[in-house]
Structure 1
Amino acid sequence: MDNFESRGWLSLLEIDHPPPTALIREFFSNLSFHIYDSNAPVRSWIRGVEFTITPRVVVEALGVPVVREPDYPYDKSPPLDVVMSYITGSSIQWGSDPRIMSAELTETAYLFFRIACHSLWPISHLHTIPLERCVFLYAFVSGASISFPHLFLRSLNEVHRSSAVGHALIHPIFIHRILLFLGLDGFPSGESIHVVAPIGATFLRQRAAHLRVDPTRPRGGPSGVVPPPPSSTGADAAETSGGAAADADVPPLTTSDDSDIRHTLDHVLTVQAVHGQILVDVLDEIRALRPELAQFRRSSPPPPF
C-alpha cells in the first residue's frame, strides 16, 4: 500500500462495477493510433461516437498525478546484473537469456510482479518474464517514479499491435472509468466482464507449486549480499555523489519486514472478494470434490447408531 500511496495511485484501487463485456470488446475492436507513442492520443469509437484518450484525460479520469520527468522508462537502463540480483535476492552474473521464470523472484518481488504485470502493465504469460518487464518490476519495487498515464497508453499501444490472446481485454475497469469521464452514456447493459484479480486462492496454490519446483537452471555466481539499486539518474548521479550516496537512495529488497506486504495482500484479497473470484474458486473446488464424496458415500455405509 505504501508503494501506491507514495505514487498517488490509491485511486487505482477503487472498486467499480465491472463493465459490460460488449463495451470493452467494442472499444478494442475500434482502437486506433495515429502514431505508436505513449504521448500520442488513443482513439476509439463506441456506437459511432469518437472517444479520444490523452495522458491528461487519464490523469483526470483516474485521479493519478502528473509526473513531469519520470525515472522510468530509464534513459539508461540499470545493468541487468543489478536488476536481476535485486529481484531474485541473490548475486547474479546475467548472461544472454532473454527472460526469467517467475518462480525465481523473491516473495516480495513476486507479489509486486503479480500486481504490476497483471493490473498496471499486463503481459500475456505470468510465468516467464521478459527482460523489459524485469526492468519495469525493478523500477516499481525500488520506488522509481513512473508516469501511470503514459504506461497505460503504452499498454494499449502494445495490445493494438499484439496478436497474443492473453492481451485481449486488459484494463476493463480503467477503460470504463475513462469512457464515463468522457461522457459515455446509454450503452446497453449486458453480461459483465469477468474481472480476475492478481491474487487469490488459485494464485496461492500456483505459487506454492512453483516454489516446490527448482528453477530450470542455476543463475550465475554464488549467493551473497544483493547490492541496492542505483540512483535513478544512473552513472551521472554515481559520479556526483561518489556512488555510496546513490546506493543509499533505495534500501535493498528484503523479506524481514512483511507488514506492508501483508497489508497490501489483505487489501487485494478484499478487492478479489468483491468481484467474487474467491467464491468462484471455492465453488470450483467443491464441484471437483463432489465425485469423491459421492464415491465415499457409496463405499462407506453410515455406522449404526
Structure 2
Amino acid sequence: MSTSTAATLPFRDGHTWYQVTTPDEPRPGALPLVVLHGGPGMAHDYLRNLAALADETGRTVVHYDQFGCGRSSHRPDAPVETWVPQLFVDEFEAVVAHLGLERFHVLGQSWGGMLGAEIAVREPAGLASLAICNSPASMQLWVDGAAELRAQLPADVQEALLRHEGAGTTGDPEYLAATQVFYERHVCRVVPMPRDFIDSEEQMEAEPTVYHTMNGPNEFHVIGTMRDWTIVDRLPSVTAPTLVVAGEHDEATPATWQPFVDGIDGAVSHVFPGASHCTHLEQPEEFRRVVAGFFADHDA
C-alpha cells in the first residue's frame, strides 16, 4: 500500500498545505503527478481518489489545497485583485520547487485544468505532460455552455431559476433545489453526492472568498475576476503533450474544450460516455485507466 504524508510550505504571507502519496513499489521511470483542484476554491478533497494512481501506476501523487481554501491559509480580507491566475501559477511553482520535482506530469480538473493551461503556456522545463480534465478554454464559452444546458432543464426548473434570480432570492430553498437538478445532470451524476465532493463543497461554502471573488455566486453567473478570462489565443505556446478529457453530459460542453484540442499541437481528447463534470467520481477506475495510460506514454 502507498503512504501519504501531509505538510505545509511557506507561500506569500501564509502557507500552502500539500500531501504526497508515495507508492510502496515505485515503478522505474514513473514521473510524479501533481494534481490541481477546481472551484476555484474547492480544495483537493473531491480529487482524493486520484491518490490511487500511486499504487496503480507506481508513481508519486501530489495533492495540495490552493491558497485561500481548504487547509491552506485563508485571506477573506485580501483585495479583489489578489485572486487572479498568476497567484496560483506562482503557488504551483513554489510547490514544485519545495518538493524538488525536476520533471513531472500535471492533471488539472475544471478550474484546475484552466490553471494547468496557464502553467503550460509558460513552458516550464519540468512539465512532461498535461491532462486538462472537464475544463473550458474561456469563461465566455463556459457561460454560453451553461446557458445551453440550462435551456434543456424541465420548464418548472427553469421558471424557478429565473423567478428567484429576478427577485434576488437565490438563497431560497426552491432556487437551491432547482440548481441541484442542474448539478445532478451536469456536475456529478452520482446520487447522493459522494462524500469527497461534499467535503470540498462544505469547506468552500464555509469560506467562499476564492469562489465568489473569482467566479461568482454559482455556475450560471460568472461575474468575478475570471469573467473575461480566455487562454484560446495563447494555446499555441503549449509544447507539452496534452490530453483533454470530458464527460458526455459535462457542464464543460464540447464547445468549451475544443479550443484546447485545436490550439495545442498534437493534443488528443477522450470523452467518457454517460459521465458529466466529475468524471473521476462517476467512473473512477476508467478515468484513472485513461489518464494513467497517457502519463505512461510520456514518462520518458
Query: Normalising TM by the smaller chain, what interval?
Result: under 0.3
Report which of the two has the higher share of strand.
Answer: 2
TM-score, with structure 1 as normaliser: 0.27
Q: Which has the higher contact order (CA 8 A, sep 6+)?
A: 1
TM-score, with structure 2 as normaliser: 0.27
